[in-house]
């Protein structure tokens, strides 16, 4: 738990604390913090990752409000990507109950749809240049987010039922 919160939340906080004063002093700039689709909806088996990514969202949105109130000429965007073709699943830690290699192959084949370069382009064009406070990347991120908004907290019932039938294989 300390490891994932340390990287996925405290890494964002410490990076922000280091760079934000320089952006403010320059009179221009944009801070982009990476959350996840799992910072908008929760997924079973991902409780610590969900917690870290929800924390990044809350931190970034609150920080944006504080920057607006202070009148600083710095934008803030929190990014919620869906499945992006990176090595995240191959480099992830898994519990002893899970088959790491099968989970990584499942992510790579079934979930990772967008190239990282395309995700980066969208972040710059729509997030930074477009000034969006919140940016969803990928059709999967949009679909899941809108489904959760339509169903409210009941999305969790559907996620649990689907994950039971179709989730990545376990040992």
- State the Cα–Cα distance between residues 4 and 20, nearest whole angstrom: 23
Q: What is the DSSP track for 117-157?
A: HHHHHHIIIIIITTT-SEEEESHHHHHHHHHHHHHGGGHHH
Triad 77, 63, 78: Cα angle to 5°: 20
Residue 155 falls in the annotated catalytic set: no
Q: Work out the burial of residue 27: count CB atoms within 10 Å of its CB; fewer than 13 is exposed, 13-18 middle, 19 or more buried.
A: exposed
Give the C-alpha distances (Å, rounded to integers) separating 57 from 26, 42, 117.
25, 13, 23
State the virtual CA torsion across 75, 76, 80, 84 in degrees, nearest 10. Answer: 60
- State the Cα–Cα distance between residues 109 and 127, nearest whole angstrom: 27
> Which residues are known catalytic residues?
49
């Amino acid at each position: 738990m300390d490891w994932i919160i340390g990287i996925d939340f405290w890494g964002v906080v410490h990076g922000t604390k280091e760079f934000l004063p320089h952006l403010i002093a320059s009179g221009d700039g944009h801070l982009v913090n990476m959350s996840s689709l799992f910072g908008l909806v929760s997924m079973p088996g991902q409780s610590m990752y969900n917690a870290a990514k929800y924390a990044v969202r809350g931190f970034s949105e609150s920080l944006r409000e504080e920057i607006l109130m202070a009148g600083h000429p710095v934008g803030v965007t929190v990014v919620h990507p869906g499945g992006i073709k990176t090595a995240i699943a191959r480099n992830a830690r898994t519990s002893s109950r899970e088959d790491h290699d099968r989970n990584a192959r499942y992510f790579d084949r079934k979930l990772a749809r967008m190239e990282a370069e395309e995700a980066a382009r969208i972040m710059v064009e729509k997030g930074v240049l477009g000034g969006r406070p919140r940016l969803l990347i990928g059709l999967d991120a949009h679909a899941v987010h809108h489904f959760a908004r339509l169903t409210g907290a009941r999305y969790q019932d559907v996620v649990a039922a689907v994950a039971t039938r179709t989730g990545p294989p376990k040992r």
